Structure 1
Amino acid sequence: MIWFIAANFGLLVALVSLVLMLLGRKSTLIFGKYPCKGPFYSIKYRIALWLLRRLRLHFYKRNEELLSSSAHLATIDCPQPLTDDPKSYDVVSFMAANAAGVKLMLTLERRRRGVLKAAFYLWLPGDGLLCSPRLPDMVHFTSEGGYGESSEFRGAGFHIFPVRSMRSWRLLYNGQLRRNGELLDVKLDLDFNSTAAHFDYNRDLSSALIADSIAREAWNDTFYGLLKRVGQVLDKRTHYEQSGMLTGTIMFEGRRRELKLRGFRDHSFGTERCLSSINRYVYFALLLDDGSSMVVGNLSQPSFFLSSLKMGYFCTAEGVYEPITASNFELYSYGEKGTPPQHQNFIVNTADNVYMVQIEVEHSAIRYVGGDWESKVYNQFVACTVNGIAGQGHAEYLYRHNSGRPEEVAAEDPIWYQRIKRFERSLSNMELMNDLEDEDFIF
Structure 2
Amino acid sequence: MIILAVLGLILGILMALAAVALKLLGLKPPLIFDKYPLKGLFYRVKYWIALLVLRRLRYRIYHRNEELLGSEEHLAKVDRPQQLSNDPKSYDVVSFMAANKDGQKLLVTLERRRRGVLKAALYLWLPESGLFSSPNLPDMVHFTTDDGAESSEFQGGGFHVFQEASMRVWRIKYCGALKSQGPEVQNVPVDLDLRFESSSAEHFDYSRDLSSSLIADSIAREAWNEKFYSLLRSVNHILEKRTHYEQNGELAGKVTLAGRQVPLKMVGFRDHSFGTERCLSSINRYVYFALFMDDGSSMVVGSLSQPSFFLSSLKVGYVCSPAGEYHPLTGSNFELYSYGEKGTPPQHQNFIVRTEEREYLVQIQVEASAVRYVGGDWESKVFNQFVACTVNGVSGQGHAEFLYRHKGGRPQDISSGDPSWYRDIKRFERSLTLLEEEGADVDFVF
Interval of TM-score (by shorter of Structure 1 and Structure 2): over 0.9
Q: What residue is the counterpart of 2:26 in the other structure?
A: 24
Q: What residue is the counterpart of 1:183 in the other structure?
A: 187
CA distance in 1: counterparts of 2:233 and 2:431, whole angstroms: 33
Q: What residue is the counterpart of 1:412 in the other structure?
A: 417
CA contact (8 A) 1:48 1:211 kept: yes
1:238 to 233, 240, 243: 243
Per-residue displacement from partner, 1:380-433 (whole Å, max 9, x unpaired)? Answer: 0000000000000000000000111111110111111111110110111139xx
Unaligned runs of 5+ in 1: 432-440
How far residue 133 of structure 1 moved from its aligned partner, in angstroms, is 0.3
CA distance in 1: counterparts of 2:259 and 2:209, whole angstroms: 45
Matched, 1:264 2:239: no
2:371 to 363, 366, 375: 366
How far residue 229 of structure 1 moved from its aligned partner, in angstroms, is 1.2
Q: What residue is the counterpart of 1:435 in the other structure?
A: none
Matched, 1:210 2:215: yes
Aligned residue type for 2:203: H
**Structural mapping, 1:13-412, within 5 Å:** 13-146=15-148, 148-180=149-181, 181-196=185-200, 197-412=202-417
Aligned residue-pair number: 433
Unaligned runs of 5+ in 2: 437-443
CA distance in 1: counterparts of 2:333 and 2:435, whole angstroms: 43
CA distance in 2: counterparts of 1:157 and 1:254, whole angstroms: 17
CA contact (8 A) 1:343 1:361 kept: yes
Identity of aligned residues (%): 67
Per-residue displacement from partner, 1:290-309 (whole Å, max 9, x unpaired)? Answer: 00000000000000000010
CA distance in 2: counterparts of 1:284 and 1:50, whole angstroms: 29
Aligned residue type for 1:259: L
CA distance in 2: counterparts of 1:214 and 1:220, whole angstroms: 12
Q: Secondary structure at the match of 1:58?
A: helix
CA distance in 2: counterparts of 1:253 and 1:141, whole angstroms: 26
CA distance in 2: counterparts of 1:281 and 1:101, whole angstroms: 25
Per-residue displacement from partner, 1:139-173 (whole Å, max 9, x unpaired)? Answer: 00011111x21100001101101111111101111
How far residue 2 of structure 1 moved from its aligned partner, in angstroms, is 1.5
Q: What residue is the counterpart of 1:12 in the other structure?
A: 14
How far residue 442 of structure 1 moved from its aligned partner, in angstroms, is 3.7
CA distance in 2: counterparts of 1:279 and 1:40, whole angstroms: 25
Aligned residue type for 2:93: V
Q: Which runs of 4+ in 1 moved over 6 A?
A: none
CA distance in 1: counterparts of 2:434 and 2:158, whole angstroms: 36
How far residue 267 of structure 1 moved from its aligned partner, in angstroms, is 0.2
Aligned residue type for 1:161: F
How far residue 286 of structure 1 moved from its aligned partner, in angstroms, is 0.2
Per-residue displacement from partner, 1:65-119 (whole Å, max 9, x unpaired)? Answer: 0000000000000100111111100000000000000000000000000000000
Per-residue displacement from partner, 1:242-294 (whole Å, max 9, x unpaired)? Answer: 00000000012211111000011000000000000000000000000000000
How far residue 135 of structure 1 moved from its aligned partner, in angstroms, is 0.1
CA distance in 2: counterparts of 1:294 and 1:371, whole angstroms: 30
CA contact (8 A) 1:113 1:442 kept: no
CA distance in 1: counterparts of 2:191 and 2:415, whole angstroms: 28
Aligned residue type for 1:361: V
Aligned residue type for 2:288: Y
Scaled by the length of structure 2, what TM-score is found?
0.96
